[in-house]
Chains A and B, each alone.
Chain A
């Protein structure tokens, strides 16, 4: 499978590391219950089909937000979290 880094271009999937689903960390930390924190850490939507995912390109260290189809592995869009 090829994934696309906005800076480096298409690269083999082994160069990328999956970081998780984009979601807001519950705040403020002192008021977050154990259950809410566990849900943040461990409960994922994990959809079949179009999914938003955060990936790290391990060679250039860009953090990417990808929209992918998890059924076909097609990358629908990708943005760097850093300015161009």
Chain B
């Protein structure tokens, strides 16, 4: 195939990359909702009790929010929550169940992939989970077997291609 041709897009869910040291897979069925404005009020309404995570913090399987900015976060839930889009009471919801994608990288090679992709001092922490990974703007969380990246859906293919060469 010529390098100027588009590669066929991979699956949105399932195994994206399988390499000797690590695998990258996209979990199925997650709910994703962007919230803006009063984050505490938004979470109380959409996902009560969900923790707000900063950079490379351990992400539970249950509902959690990944902080992007002072007034912006991505709420990740085990299934879509069907939030009503738009502003109310100082906060705004935007349903992005299929607008964002999640990649879970696992395996012995995962720490090396993380170091290749990300220049941030992960031990120092940050209130924002948003970071550049391989040049892509992602939200980075820690998982039991490695790390997860949340990325706007259009970047999934390019990010998968980068992971394939990591």
Contact = CB atoms under 8 A, between A and B. Distances in A.
Interface stretch (A3-11, A30-38, A39-47, A66-74): A3-11
Category for how many chain A residues contact B: 10 to 19
Contact of A59 (B121, B124, B125, B137): B137
B121 A60 contact: no
B24 to A, nearest CB: 21
B7 interface: no
A63 to B, nearest CB: 11
A8 B72 CA distance: 13
A9 B125 CA distance: 8
Interface of B: 55, 68-70, 72, 119-121, 124-128, 130-132, 135, 137
Interface of A: 5, 7-12, 14-15, 58-62, 82, 84
Q: Which 8 A-B pairs have the closest CB atoms?
A: A59-B130, A12-B119, A60-B69, A8-B128, A9-B126, A8-B126, A15-B132, A60-B128
